[in-house]
Homo-oligomer: A and B are copies of this chain.
Amino acid sequence: MTQLLRVQNFCVSADGFGAGEGQTLERPFGHADPADLVSWAGATASWPGRSDPGGSRGLDDYFTRDFANHIGAEIMGRNKFGPQRGPWQDHEWRGWWGDSPPFHTPVFVLTHHPRPSFTLDDTTFHFLDASPAEALDRAREAAGGLDVRLGGGVATLREFLDADLVDTLHVAVAPVELGRGERLWDSPDDLLDRFRHEAVPSPSGVTHHLFWR
């Protein structure tokens, strides 16, 4: 059975930015207001961060509830994991997500500065200095036959796209312009040479772009 590499619920602005400029501890999305990019997801019943009942169960909810469906591991770039750059100054940093990260699987963090693995709740973070293809091999092995999610950020997505390792992408384009930051694409058309594509507008205002090969 094929183990796909899937990008899911990756949020970008109308002008193609997945994050603003100047990531810091206080501003993980730099100058961008993350609410502008991800509030469509937070409004759904299946948003992993939801603590209260309620939330919509329309189109957007199909995307948030597919986040973990048939996923056995995640790969992410170091900048998704945290704001530090270069050698680790602070080993106490264990990600943005508190004691119960929303992954519930092994997570492979790509970094030129490996550090020991650790476990929070049912998520174990591993740190790899590896090529995209090597990281994908490791993640597939850990995924127990299930698919692997590629979590971002933008630089990591672009590396895996350049290596032609991505099987499916779901990118949610929000109706906001950021002007600068980490750019995924000039336009969704950039990927049409390799992927089939559907654009599905949602009543929430975002447009879900689906790519597969």
Contact B59 A210 (CB under 8 A): yes
Contact B212 A58 (CB under 8 A): yes
This chain: how many copies in the complex? 2
**Chain B residue with the shortest CB-CB distance to A4:** B57
Contact B196 A56 (CB under 8 A): yes
Segment with Cβ contacts to B, from A35-43, A60-68, A73-81, A172-180: A60-68
Contact B203 A59 (CB under 8 A): no
What's the Cα separation between A12 and B66 when bound, in Å?
Answer: 25
Give the contacts of A5-60 with B (CB-CB under 8 A): 45, 53, 56-59
Contact A58 B2 (CB under 8 A): no
What is the CB-to-nearest-CB distance from A166 to chain B, in angstroms, rounded to a whole number?
A: 12
What is the CB-to-nearest-CB distance from A72 to chain B, in angstroms, rounded to a whole number?
A: 15
Q: Is A122 an interface residue (CB 8 A)?
A: no
Q: For chain A, what secondary structure do more than half of its interface residues adopt (helix, strand, loop), or is it mixed?
A: mixed
Question: Which B residues lie within 8 Å of A70 (CB)?
Answer: 65
**Chain B residue with the shortest CB-CB distance to A197:** B58
Question: Which B residues lie within 8 Å of A198 (CB)?
Answer: 58-59, 203
What is the CB-to-nearest-CB distance from A70 to chain B, in angstroms, rounded to a whole number?
A: 8
Question: Which B residues lie within 8 Å of A69 (CB)?
Answer: 65-66, 69
- Selected A-B contacts with CB under 8 Å, 17 pairs: A2-B53, A56-B196, A57-B168, A57-B210, A57-B212, A58-B196, A58-B210, A58-B212, A59-B198, A59-B200, A59-B208, A59-B210, A62-B62, A62-B63, A65-B66, A65-B70, A66-B69
| 6 additional contacts (CB under 8 A) given A56-B212, A57-B196, A59-B208 | A56-B196, A58-B210, A59-B198, A62-B63, A65-B69, A198-B203
